[in-house]
Structure 1
Amino acid sequence: MTQRFEYDVVVVGGGPAGSSAAYEAAKNGVKVALLEKEETIAETVRTSGVTWIQNIKEFGIPDDCFNPIRNFSFCSPNNEVTISDTVPRAAVLDVRKTYRWLAEQAKNQGADIFT
């Protein structure tokens, strides 16, 4: 027997863009399906996870998903320069945790997630 699903929007890919799109659509009352080819969200990650804290705060990402950076070191074969800042402006994300958090936000708004 074939099961039938009906959605207003189908989002392909459970990365940050897909999960954010699914979240926004579901938050606005749209019936959303989020499709991820991997067995779990963020099973395979292809990014370093360094980003600006301002962007992290705009998305509402929880503090336990990132580590602020206060020092930057730039190295070449002949020199090294370190820049320090009392106010962190960038951070290293726990990418898997962040992607899964974003998908959970979409689910909490009513999106159906298929892996």
Structure 2
Amino acid sequence: MDSGKGSYAQLQLWLVGVTLAVSLAIAICVAFVYSVAVAANYLLGALVGLVYLRMLSRGVAELGKSRNRLGVTRLALFVGLIVLATQVESLQVLPIFLGFMTYKVTLLIHIVQTLTRSSSSA
């Protein structure tokens, strides 16, 4: 069982690291193509998405131990971010939303790597 906990912890660290790397790479590209302000909005969304990912991973780790289902506090984080983006004049909703979704790119990278590894070993 400890091996499972260790590999899950490694997966969490990998997801955080890759999400940070992908977010920074995309933000640099956005800064060159659009503007630094749009890149900053993107990074804000990406950082909140990273917090969301960490909250999700902690919730998954607690399933079956102290919880029987996942909570909705993560949804409040996303809704709060979008409300903030609509209320603050200097923030832009679309770059923030796309930044928030960056963690999903990392999940897709992990899925492709896992499928590639499993198909090559079969």
TM bucket normalised to smaller: under 0.3
Give the TM-score taking structure 2 as reference length.
0.26
Give 1 or 2: higher helix fraction: 2
